[in-house]
Amino acid sequence: MHDIRMIRETPEVFDAAMKARNADVSSADVLAIDTARRAKIQAAEEAKAAQNAASKEVGAAKAKGDEAEFERLRALVGEKKAEVARLGEEAQAEDVRLNNLLMSLPNIPFDDVPPGADEDDNVEIHRWGTPRRFPFVPKEHYELPGVQAGMNFELGAKLSGARFVVLQSSVARLHRALAQFMLDTHIANGLTETWTPVLVREDMMYGTGQLPKFGEDSYKTTDGQWLIPTSEVTLTNIVNGETLEAGQLPMRLTAHSQCFRSEAGSAGRDTAGMLRQHQFEKVEMVSITHPDESRAELDRMTGFAQAILEELLLPYRTVVLCVGDMGFGARRTHDIEVWLPGQQTYREISSVSVCGDFQARRMNARFKPEGGGKPEFVHTLNGSGLAVGRCLIAVLENGQQADGSVELPVALHPYLGGNTVLDPLGTLI
């Protein structure tokens, strides 16, 4: 959420940011509500002062026996009391209007975010590994003989509908091994493993920015709870309403969780295979930092995600998202895209974002500065480390052999009982 004082003091900065992000709002729209709200508050305070003054004079008039003055003042007190209540309700209504508007507006990008309208304007900043040259036409993951026995889309559809899958046997074990490898790596890097619920209260979704604007992208239960689209929601909201000590920062957390997305508006996109599912798993990273450290933390978290891919020997590239392609709550985002031979292209496998104090304001999450003084808002960051299903796709496609088997990365061998290959029959050997 935005700082209203910033909009008052630098409306041109706000306007430029909203224009770049195609938000149909101006500082004038916001400040008109803010001005009306402040005017109502001031009027209510003045009416309250008049009420208090009249109340003091009522007793004096009564003591003097001036019944006419006493009745006039008593009536005035009643009028002012009603006026205070009315103005207070009107001020509250304007406050709700302002809060609802600010809650619906995207974050302000950093100055170093590339301009642009969509993914074609993203800027590559790093590339690692060389895509393998196959002596045969590489298949997509769901076409591999050793995978088909353990990746059942028909059964997923029978149980739950389109865009669900059932993983079994060796494929399920490989999927689990990837998640365990990611967690162990992040823990070694100093992140604290955390297990959280997948059902959250509605205010938690507001806290991280999934609501109010993107409710159609998630699943809501009949009792008003929401299934998390990512454990960013739960990990970040751990500090919701908290005032931390400066020494508690940075907080670096990781969690492996089920995630749920309705994929509203994505009909016809990536419907084949596991690339885009309603239910999937992710290992998430979240950092809660001092404002002075959040930009450096973005690079640190990006490095953690990249290192996972390097350990798995998966070629990738990292891009900075342009303003038009960046997510609602981000100030800068690094997308990491892994090479998929079956599609002959790079596809997103991680998105790492710094949000500044945008989420902290929504959650009222603060810290006490070491030198004393007024509590300040923390900065928050989140990133995939990594999307487990997409990583499974990349491992299968990059390791495929001419006979239909899959050579598995060395980093996973200890998690697979020493097995190194998924054979054409779907057996780990």
Tell me which long-range contacts 258-265 makes (C-beta under 8 A, separation of at least 24): 258/198, 259/198, 259/228, 259/229, 259/230, 259/231, 260/198, 260/218, 260/219, 260/227, 260/228, 260/229, 261/217, 261/218, 261/229, 262/216, 262/217, 262/218, 262/219, 263/163, 263/217, 264/216, 264/217, 265/216
The angle subtended at Cα 382 by Cα 395 and Cα 361, nearest 5°, is 165
**261 annotated to a ligand binding site:** yes
Residue length of the chain: 429
Q: Which of 127, 201, 276, 317 is catalytic?
A: 276
Residue 351 bears catalytic tag = yes
Q: Are 381 and 352 in contact (CB under 8 A)?
A: yes
Q: How many CA atoms lie within 13 A of 83 on its CB side?
A: 18
At 281, is the secondary structure helix, strand, or coil? strand
Known catalytic membership, residue 97:
no
Cα separation, 73 vs 56, whole angstroms: 9
| Residue 133 assigned as binding residue | no
232 annotated to a ligand binding site: yes
- 261 catalytic per annotation: yes
Q: Does 287 appear as a known binding residue?
A: no
As given in the structure block, the two tokens for residue 188 are 């070694």
- Cβ contact 359:329 at 8 Å: yes
State the catalytic residue, choosing from 173, 261, 331, 362.
261
Residue 348, annotated ligand binder? yes
Does the annotation place 242 within a ligand binding site? no
Check if 26 is active-site: no
The amino acid at residue 293 is E
d(CA 289, CA 250): 4
Is 350 annotated to bind a ligand? Reply is: yes
Q: What is the DSSP letter of 357?
A: T
Which entry of 170, 351, 353, 405 is annotated as an active-site residue?
351
7 labelled ligand-binding: no
CB 233 within 8 A of CB 208: yes
Among 284, 292, 238, 236, smallest CA distance to 259 is for: 284
Residue 51 sits at φ, ψ, to 5 deg, of -60, -45
Q: Which residue in 45, 57, 242, 348 is the catalytic one?
A: 348
Q: Is 231 annotated as a binding residue?
A: yes
Active site residues: 261, 276, 348, 351, 390
Annotated binding site: 230-232, 261-263, 284, 348-351, 382, 384
Which amino acids are annotated as binding site for ATP, given as ranges? Answer: 261-263, 348-351
Residues at the annotated binding site for L-serine?
230-232, 261, 284, 382, 384
